[in-house]
Amino acid sequence: MTHAIYKSMLVAMKTLIDLYLRLFAFWMKFPEKIRYVLVGGYNTVISYLLYALFLWILDGLYEQIALFFSFIVSSLNSYWTQKIYVFNTRGNIKREYFKCLISWGISYALNVILLFLFVKMVGMNPYVGQFFALILVTINSYLMLKKFAFKVKK
């Protein structure tokens, strides 16, 4: 490659980075709860789609196994999007991630219980039951993440 091509690539990268930084600054002007709802909504959709995919792979059986796999895959994505785009913390990554895992573990346990209640006790379809469980779990997750995992010490 020639020097001109490298220079063009650097200019394009700088332009993209500048655009990202402007968009990020604009994004961070939104209140935290609005950012959480939007990022949480994105993460919830990803988690639900993964749940539906795994449930489909398992032929509609074993909703708890599908839930477990969707939790594992979506937790990493959720950590980074919430750390950066919701709470914007600069804390210790290992400690925050560990606290997130605790928070999500509690939320996961709540999800397991709610899914069991909705599907086995109430008789809901597993897709519908998980949809309603996710609403309650999302609220619980926000409170745990804000007050525990990403809590900023003053």
pLDDT in tens, 90-143: 888 989 999 998 998 898 899 999 999 999 999 999 999 999 998 898 889 889
Single pTM value for the model:
0.71
Domain spans of the chain, in order of start: 1-29, 31-149
Cβ pair 128, 82 in contact under 8 A: no
The helices-and-strands tally (H runs, E runs) of the chain is 5, 0
**At residue 1, does pLDDT exceed 70?**
no
Name 149's Cβ contacts closer than 8 Å, sequence gap at least 6. Answer: 96, 99, 100, 102, 103
Can you tell me the mean pLDDT for 76-86? 92
Angle, vertex CA 85, rays to CA 136 and CA 98, nearest 5: 65
CB 61: neighbour CB atoms within 10 A? 9
Give me the helices (H) in 28-125, please.
Answer: 32-57, 63-82, 93-116
Can you tell me the mean pLDDT for 20-29? 97
Per-chain mean pLDDT for the chain? 91
Can you tell me the mean pLDDT for 70-77? 86
